[in-house]
């Protein structure tokens, strides 16, 4: 039986030009029961936001109205046993030539730093990350590195990592919402969505790299 579910998504890009984002945000939503996450999305689709979401295969931060984003965050505040962990990477201070030249390694590094701050105790874990790596060798490299860092400081019985289409998993859509809100705060100095989160009922942890 799975005890913890981790959903991971990112906002920003891996580019290093002046036109690129200032930060890369990797967010993890850790939940005990994915059915509660499913219920939030289903209710949004069936009732208040049925018109907005009629043709949408999935909910994306950048394509959703303010009212929808606010609704989802408020519902997450009410969902027991969920928390968010975020890695904010300031790309302007990146000095490693290796990471500059190997963007997939830069992405893995940020995810690994995120994983180190997810502390779990004697449980089975299912990790789902939004599917972006086309080559199996890159997925295998990510999985190995992420699992190594997730186990660092935790006591985990079993870890299963999947690269999935976000339209098929509500948890990934919620992770996109979280990463989008964090990105607005750290890249655009807009704390609106992050301020909507009730840190008491829905705890958040932030790691800032190379600030």
pLDDT tens digits for range 3-15:
999 999 999 999 9
**pLDDT over 70 (residue 1):** no
Q: Are 146 and 110 in contact (CB under 8 A)?
A: no
- Where does the pLDDT of residue 79 fall: very low under 50, low under 70, confident under 90, or very high at 90 and above? confident
pLDDT at residue 150 greater than cutoff 90: yes
Alpha-carbon span 74 to 67, nearest angstrom? 11
pLDDT tens string 26-49? 999 999 999 999 999 999 999 999
CATH topology classification for 4-209:
Nucleotidyltransferase; domain 5 (3.30.420)
- Round to whole Å and give the CA distance between 168 and 158: 23
- Rounded to an integer, the average pLDDT of 12-27 is 95
Mean pLDDT across the chain:
95
- Count CB-CB contacts under 10 A for residue 44: 21
Mean pLDDT calculated for residue range 128-151: 91
User: Tokens 């705060």 appear where?
Assistant: 185
Q: Where are the domains of the chain?
A: 4-209
């Amino acid at each position: 039986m799975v005890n913890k579910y981790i959903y991971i998504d990112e906002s920003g890009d891996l580019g290093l030009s002046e036109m690129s984002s200032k930060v890369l945000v990797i967010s993890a939503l850790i939940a005990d029961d994915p059915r509660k996450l499913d219920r939030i999305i289903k209710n949004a689709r069936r009732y208040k936001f049925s018109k907005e979401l009629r043709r949408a295969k999935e909910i994306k931060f950048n394509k959703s109205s303010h009212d929808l984003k606010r609704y989802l965050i408020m519902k997450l505040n009410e969902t027991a046993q969920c928390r968010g962990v975020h890695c904010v990477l300031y790309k302007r201070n990146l000095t490693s030539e290796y990471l500059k030249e190997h963007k997939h390694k830069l992405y893995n590094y940020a995810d690994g730093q995120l994983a180190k701050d997810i502390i779990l105790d004697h449980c089975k874990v299912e990790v789902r990350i939004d599917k972006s790596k086309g080559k199996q060798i890159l997925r295998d490299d990510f999985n190995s590195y992420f699992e190594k860092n997730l186990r660092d400081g935790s006591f985990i019985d079993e870890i299963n990592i999947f690269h999935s289409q976000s339209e098929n998993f509500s948890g990934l859509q919620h992770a996109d919402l979280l990463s989008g809100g964090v990105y607005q705060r750290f890249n655009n100095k807009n704390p609106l969505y992050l301020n909507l989160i009730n840190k008491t009922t829905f705890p958040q942890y932030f790691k800032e790299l190379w600030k």
